[in-house]
Amino acid sequence: MFSAISGDFIDEPARQEAPAISSEVAEQARAGDSQAFTTLFQTYNSQICTYLARLVGNDEVGRDLAQETFMRAWESLPAMDQPLHFKPWLYRIATNCAKSYLRRTRLIRWLSWKDEETGPLVQGPEERTGETECVQQAMASLSPQCRTCLLLQLVGGFSQREIAELLHISEKSVSAYVSRGREQFRREYRRRKGETA
């Protein structure tokens, strides 16, 4: 008999939970109420910045994209579909902003260099990385689709069904992306930790 070992390593993940926001606030913002939009901004500012920073792998760029996201949201609110589902709608804008950014700045590096000890390039001590770098590099090794789905679940707190609706893809695809993302992240993280231990 074996038990699922949750808690043996680290406590259950502490997600940044945005306080529940009433749909009336989003409705008011859609009608042009700047105070209501400011409330929405204050509610989702931290989450969106974190999501975008993790997605593009750079805090400063993430914040820059968050600004773009909120500006686009304000511009687009009047045309927002009924019924109002503000949070997934905002994340969709954020995801599109990140996608456009990655495309126009050609930052999508398909892959990264393998640290092969027997290869022509021997990894030097200066490249050995700490915990934060290990996590960030493992995250960066995921495909954009896997990274997006995983972060929407982890940072945004969305279920796979919600992610499918948000990204306009099938739930089956989301399930595959999340599964593949977790497995690849796990392996990459362990590989890097193994090398740096």
Partner 1 sequence: MKQLIDIQPCPQWAKKLAALHPGDLTSAEQANLQAHIQSCPACAAVIAEYREMDARILALPPVAPLPDLPLPLRAAFGETAQQETIHVTEQAHASRHSTILKRKPPRPTSRFARAASAFAAVLVVAALIAGFLLLFTAHHSDIGNVPSGSKVVVVASERNDGTIYAIRPSDGAIYWHQSIGKQLTGALVVTRDVVIVGSYNGHVYAVNKRDGSVLWDRSIGTAALPPFASDGTAVYVSGENAVYALRTSDGEILWHRGKTQGCDNGACTNVAMGASGGKVFAFFPDGLYALRAADGTILWRNPVFRFTTRSFVLLNDKLYLPVEAKGLVYVLSTGDGNMVHSPLSFIKDQPIEMVASSDVVYVDSGGQEITAIRASDDRALWRKHFDTVIIGLSSSSDGRLYVAQTTTYVSSIQIIGQPQPTVTSSGYSTDVYALNASDGSILWRWQPTNASGGSSDIAAADGNMYVVIGDSLYALHGSDGKVLWRALQGEQLSSPVIG
* Footprint (CB under 8 A) of partner 1, residues 79-98: none
Per-residue x/- marks for partner 1, 41-70, CB under 8 A?
x---xx--xx--xx----xx-xxx-xxx-x
Q: Is 154 in the site for partner 1 (CB under 8 A)?
A: yes
Tokens of 46: 């931290």
Tokens of 34: 């700047």
Nearer to partner 1, 23 or 186 (CB): 186
Ordered DSSP codes for 11-41 = PSP---PPPP--HHHHHHHHTT-HHHHHHHH
On the CB side of 1, how many CA atoms lie within 13 Å of its CA? 0
Q: Is 106 in the site for partner 1 (CB under 8 A)?
A: yes
Q: Using CB under 8 A, which of the segments 19-27, 83-91, 127-135 binds partner 1?
A: 127-135
Q: Is 21 in the site for partner 1 (CB under 8 A)?
A: no
Q: Is the separation of the CB atoms in 174 and 160 below 8 Å?
A: yes
Q: Is the separation of the CB atoms in 174 and 151 below 8 Å?
A: no
Q: Is 184 in the site for partner 1 (CB under 8 A)?
A: yes
Q: Using CB under 8 A, which of the segments 19-27, 85-93, 165-173 binds partner 1?
A: 165-173
Nearer to partner 1, 50 or 95 (CB): 50
Least gap, CB of 189 to partner 1 (angstroms): 6
Q: How far apart are the first and last CA of the chain?
A: 31
Nearer to partner 1, 15 or 24 (CB): 15
> What is the C-alpha to C-alpha distance for residues 44 and 155, in angstroms, rounded to an integer?
11
